[in-house]
């Protein structure tokens, strides 16, 4: 067949099907049980938001806002952006719905797709899925530790191998500003050895220099001032309390003051979980505190902390237990034709009879899981299909009577079509 006329999914996007779809269902079920068990409620925000939300919330100098957003004007001329991340939308919803009036902290989780115009490669896509959890309204270090522990627990449940937790504190905006100036001074002094990219962003985003792989930049960063030395007494104390709680939970971590996250809103605790099982894209999830974000979006001063983890990365690095296929209590088969060439009813011989459909709907209404033959297979083919589905019972409709086969025990009964559902219900109860 020629490729002419075929349309493919855009670069950096993919279809979710088959095993991948069932692995995702397992992950979603585990996330729900872990997070809802800890008091988090599910939230869904719109796929697109006012561009201003991300410009203001994520930060105008970040890579995301500068180069990665899918931004468009709608027919009325408003600038909208496909969400590139989940925290700013959740904070927008918190403000919009007056959630500060609820009991604090308000804890919300999401599993949604996000959009970034990035260089597509294994583990890095343009539409990808993130699972995230946000706790708003408490600055207690126990909330930080709880948030991190929940992500670690989820990764463990999903069998993600060789996970490492890196932890740091970015301190208050004031401490960060003082540090930023010192760092800029250092970078200017070493400008000659820096990569072009880092040099051009000394004023806009000096912290990103720590992320660079460029050898000259890396050398220059070895003697760079570290944020840890600039924290206020309160921030240092908060960070110590977070660590003490992680220790109490026996969760191992490495302190890494060069940890910078690609978003501007973080304050105090930041963390990242990586897996050595992944290649270059080793980040599985990460997050941190954003104590100023809600206020920045027009809400009351509200502390917050959260994380996001990439679904594709979790599945790449993990070994999710396969989800059990949905059981089929009854498969409705029929004799394609009988009595020589005469079809059962007034219908093409390969179309299922109305009686089969009636039995299917009757079975479902009675609470059974049921499927029927829809592809005009031979009776042998229908039985093979029912077997592949793992159907417990198969009803074979004939003209006057119906045969009900117990696929588990092999027993076979002949009965009237309207007695089938009752017989299956009775059979299942005796299991
Ligand atoms: P971030 O919001 O950038 O902190 O990303 C959090 C997590 O989402 C990362 O650790 C990755 O697991 C995942 N992630 C971020 N960007 C992408 C992408 N373009 N493709 C796939 N996963 C991603």
Q: What pLDDT, in 10s, does the model give residues 79-101?
A: 999 999 999 999 999 999 999 99
Q: What pLDDT, in 10s, does the model give residues 356-415?
A: 999 999 999 999 999 999 999 999 999 999 999 999 999 999 987 899 999 998 999 999
* Whether residue 284 has its Cβ less than 6 Å from ligand 1: yes
* Whether residue 334 has its Cβ less than 6 Å from ligand 1: no
Residue intervals in the chain for CATH 3.40.50.800 = 330-429
Class of domain 330-429: alpha beta
Q: How many helices and strands in the chain, by DSSP H and E?
A: 14, 16
pLDDT of residue 419: 95
Query: Thinking of the domain 18-171+231-317, which architecture would CATH place it in?
Result: 2-Layer Sandwich (3.30)
* Band of pLDDT at residue 2, cut at 50, 70 and 90: low
Residue from 345, 336, 363 nearest 417 by CA: 363
User: How deeply is 252 buried, as exposed, middle or buried, from its count of CB atoms within 10 A (0-12, 13-18, 19+)?
Assistant: exposed
Are 95 and 88 in contact by the 8 Å Cβ rule? The answer is no
What length does the chain have?
Answer: 431
pLDDT at 343 > cutoff 70: no
CA of residue 5 to ligand 1 center, whole Å: 34
* C-alpha dist (Å) from residue 28 to 31, 114, 166, 178, 382: 5, 16, 25, 42, 33
Token digits of residue 157: 């449940």
pLDDT of residue 339: 42
Are 152 and 273 in contact by the 8 Å Cβ rule? The answer is yes
CA of residue 285 to ligand 1 center, whole Å: 7
Token digits of residue 379: 């009776």
* Band of pLDDT at residue 262, cut at 50, 70 and 90: low
DSSP code for 9: P
CA of residue 278 to ligand 1 center, whole Å: 13
> Whole-model pTM above 0.85?
yes
Look at strands 254-255 and 267-275 and give their pairing: unpaired
* Band of pLDDT at residue 341, cut at 50, 70 and 90: very low
CA of residue 248 to ligand 1 center, whole Å: 29
pLDDT of residue 25: 92
Mean pLDDT of the chain: 92
* Whether residue 125 has its Cβ less than 6 Å from ligand 1: yes
Q: Report which secondary-structure segment, H or E, holds 261.
A: none
Q: How far is it, in rounded angstroms, from Cα 100 to Cα 295?
A: 11
Are 295 and 325 in contact by the 8 Å Cβ rule? The answer is no
Section 118-128 average pLDDT: 93
pLDDT of residue 279: 82
Q: What pLDDT, in 10s, does the model give residues 141-151?
A: 999 999 999 99
């Amino acid at each position: 067949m020629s490729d002419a006329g075929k349309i493919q999914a855009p670069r950096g996007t993919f279809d979710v099907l088959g095993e991948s779809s069932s692995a995702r269902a397992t992950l979603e079920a585990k996330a729900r049980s872990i997070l809802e068990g800890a008091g988090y409620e599910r939230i869904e925000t719109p796929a697109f938001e006012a561009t201003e939300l991300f410009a203001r919330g994520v930060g105008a100098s970040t890579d995301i806002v500068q180069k990665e957003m899918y931004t468009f004007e709608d027919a009325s001329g408003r600038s909208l952006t496909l969400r590139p991340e989940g925290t700013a939308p959740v904070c927008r919803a918190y403000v919009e719905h007056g959630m500060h009036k609820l009991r604090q902290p308000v804890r919300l989780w999401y599993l949604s797709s996000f959009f970034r115009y990035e260089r597509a490669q294994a583990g890095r896509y343009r539409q990808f899925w993130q699972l995230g959890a946000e706790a708003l309204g408490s600055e207690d270090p126990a909330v930080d530790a709880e948030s991190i522990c929940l992500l670690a627990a989820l990764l463990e449940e999903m069998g993600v191998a060789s996970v490492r937790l890196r932890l740091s504190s970015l301190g208050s905006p004031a401490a960060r500003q003082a540090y930023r100036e010192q760092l800029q001074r250092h970078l200017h002094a070493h400008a000659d050895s820096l990569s072009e990219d880092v040099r051009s962003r000394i004023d806009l985003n000096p912290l990103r220099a720590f992320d660079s792989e460029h050898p000259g930049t890396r050398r220059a960063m070895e003697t760079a001032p570290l944020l840890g030395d600039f924290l206020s007494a309160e921030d240092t104390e908060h960070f110590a309390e977070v660590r003490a709680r992680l220790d109490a939970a026996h969760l191992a971590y490495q302190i890494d003051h060069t940890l910078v996250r690609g978003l501007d809103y973080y304050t105090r605790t930041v963390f990242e979980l990586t897996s050595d099982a992944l290649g270059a894209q080793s980040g599985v999830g990460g997050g941190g505190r954003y104590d100023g974000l809600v206020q920045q979006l027009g809400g009351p001063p509200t502390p917050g902390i959260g994380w996001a983890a990439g679904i594709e990365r979790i599945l790449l690095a993990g070994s999710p237990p396969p989800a059990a296929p949905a059981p089929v209590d009854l498969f409705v088969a029929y004799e394609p034709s009988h009595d020589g060439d005469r079809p059962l009813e007034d219908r093409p011989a390969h179309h299922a009879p109305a009686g089969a459909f009636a039995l299917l709907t009757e079975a479902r209404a009675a609470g059974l899981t049921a499927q029927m033959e829809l592809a005009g297979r031979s009776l042998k083919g229908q039985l093979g299909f029912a077997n592949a589905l793992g159907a417990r019972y198969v009803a074979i409709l004939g003209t006057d009577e119906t045969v009900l086969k117990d696929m588990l025990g092999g027993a076979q009964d002949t009965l009237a079509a309207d007695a089938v559902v009752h017989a299956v219900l009775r059979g299942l109860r005796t299991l």
